[in-house]
Structure 1
Amino acid sequence: MDRLSLIGLFLALASLVGGSILKGAGLSSLWSPAAFVIVIIGTLAAILVHTSPAIFRHAFRIVPWVIRPPASNRRRLIEQIVEWSTIARRQGLLGLEAHVEAQDDPFVRKGLQLLVDGVEPEAIRRMMEIELGSEEQRNLAATKVFEGMGIYAPTLGIIGAVLGLIAVMKNLADPSKLGHGIAAAFTATIYGIASANLLFLPIAAKLKGVIAGTTREREMFIEGLISIAHGENPRNIENNLSGFLD
């Protein structure tokens, strides 16, 4: 679990609530059904037009990675690759067949199966790099969903503020409604700017970091597979792959 992300989300909420209280506006000033509809529902509507259904679904499938990123232990993976290399040198590549189905990660399972099947090293590299490229492209496209929401939300916040001010202008004859009306109008701006800079854009940036780390680990795995296919010494494989450790 990524505790920094949890702390960040908590502090983001605390900064809004605490700031509103310290400024004397109170909690009630942060709630406006009209602003919610214009900014949040409007942002959702814009992003639905912006992206394809498959990418939209995938974006919300990977958003939990912000709090709980995919398990990653490069050192353990290197140890696993060295173990496979030792087995392959002693028993041949077919000795790894029993290890294929034990892999939970489809990417690792596919690569190991190609190795067991005796596919040429360069063919393994080509197929696995295509697989990795497709996976990375799909994941990065999903992060653009949140980047897009971070772009649309502030603009819709301004639209909400303008609509609120229009409503205020219609009630100029009643001064008692002006203060409340103007405050409500600017609530939409808060929704737009705060959601973009405290939620949507940070989520996109965090997901990009997680994806970059996963891609780096996949690249290390591919190099390990190719080394096993070439029959390299397990100790040399371990030394070469150690360069992938942070």
Structure 2
Amino acid sequence: MDLIALIGLIIGIGAIVTGNIAEGGTTAHLVQVAAAIIVFGGTFGATILSFPFKDIITAILSLKFIFFNRKVNFNDTIETILDLLVIARKKGLLALQQEFDRIDDPFLKRGLTYVIDGLSPSIIKDSLYQEIYTYEDIIRRAAKVYDSAGGYAPTIGIIGAILGLIHVLKNVADPSKIGAGIATAFVATIYGVGSANLIFIPMAKRIINKLENEILLMELMVEGILGIESGMNPYFLRAKLEAYITDKQKERI
């Protein structure tokens, strides 16, 4: 469980609720069923209309990027690759098959399988990088779903506000209905702007940030797999992989 993401979400929403209470309001003032239906229903509908169904499903599944961590440890990966390299240099590439049980990452396993099967370095590199590009495209499209929802929500909130004001104007002769209409109008705006800036857009950015770390790890594995295939000196491979991480992180900065 990624506690940082959960804490950020709680702080963001909690700040709005606390500020409302500090101004003399209550949490009941922020609960409007009609406003919620308009904003979240409208945002969901507009988002579904904008993307293929498979992207919507992928976006839902991508919630694991936000609230659950995949272990991305560059140092441990480098050590694993170097151990495999030493085994391959001593016992041959076929000996790597006996090490598959202790390798958790399926991408690394596939790369090693290509090496054991005797594929050329160019084919190995092209195949693995094509898998990286495909994976990156899928996750970026999922993040785009949340980013688009963050763009729709404030506009739908304004629509909800206008509907609330229309309701007020229609019942101007009945003072008992004016308050409810005004509340729906303003709460719809809060729902739209708040959900966009506290939930949807931050979720999209967090998915992308975590994706970049995963892509860097996968690229590191490709370099390590090619080093194993060529029988590179372990000391040189370690220096190459560590320099690769440093260079890529500098590029991101």
Q: Partners in 2 of 1:107 and 1:90 — Cα distance? A: 24
Larger displacement relative to structure 2 (170-179 or 86-95): 170-179
C-alpha offsets along residues 48-96 of structure 1, whole Å, 9 cap, x if unaligned? 1111122211111121221222111110000011011111111111111
Report what 1:84 is aligned to.
84
Report what 2:124 is aligned to.
124
Offset at 1:97?
Answer: 1.3
Name the amino acid aligned to 2:137. Q
Report what 1:133 is aligned to.
133
Name the amino acid aligned to 2:122. E
Report what 1:170 is aligned to.
170
Output the TM-score relative to the length of structure 1.
Answer: 0.95
C-alpha offsets along residues 14-57 of structure 1, whole Å, 9 cap, x if unaligned? 11211221122211111111111110111111111111122211
Name the amino acid aligned to 1:58. T
Offset at 1:102?
Answer: 4.2
Name the amino acid aligned to 1:14. G
Report what 2:213 is aligned to.
213
Name the amino acid aligned to 2:90. R
Larger displacement relative to structure 2 (188-197 or 41-50): 41-50
Offset at 1:101?
Answer: 5.0
Report what 1:111 is aligned to.
111
Name the amino acid aligned to 1:181. G
Report % sequence identity: 38
Verify the 8 A CA contact 2:160 2:184 in the aligned structure 1: no
Report what 1:187 is aligned to.
187
Q: Gapped runs of 5+ residues in structure 2?
A: none
**Mapping for residues 44-59 of structure 1, pairs under 5 Å:** 44-59=44-59
Verify the 8 A CA contact 1:140 1:208 in the aligned structure 2: yes
Name the amino acid aligned to 1:238. R
Name the amino acid aligned to 2:79. E
2:49 matched to 1:39?
Answer: no
Tell me the SS of whatever aligns to 1:141: helix
C-alpha offsets along residues 113-135 of structure 1, whole Å, 9 cap, x if unaligned? 00111111111001000011000
Q: Partners in 2 of 1:5 and 1:129 — Cα distance? A: 30
Name the amino acid aligned to 2:66. V
Q: Partners in 2 of 1:31 and 1:6 — Cα distance? A: 22
Tell me the SS of whatever aligns to 1:25: coil
Report what 1:227 is aligned to.
227
Which runs of 4 or more aligned residues in structure 1 lie more than 6 Å from their structure 2 counterparts after TM superposition? Answer: none
Q: Gapped runs of 5+ residues in structure 1?
A: none
Tell me the SS of whatever aligns to 1:172: coil
Larger displacement relative to structure 2 (173-182 or 15-24): 173-182
Output the TM-score relative to the length of structure 2.
Answer: 0.93
Report what 2:151 is aligned to.
151
The alignment covers a number of residue pairs equal to: 246
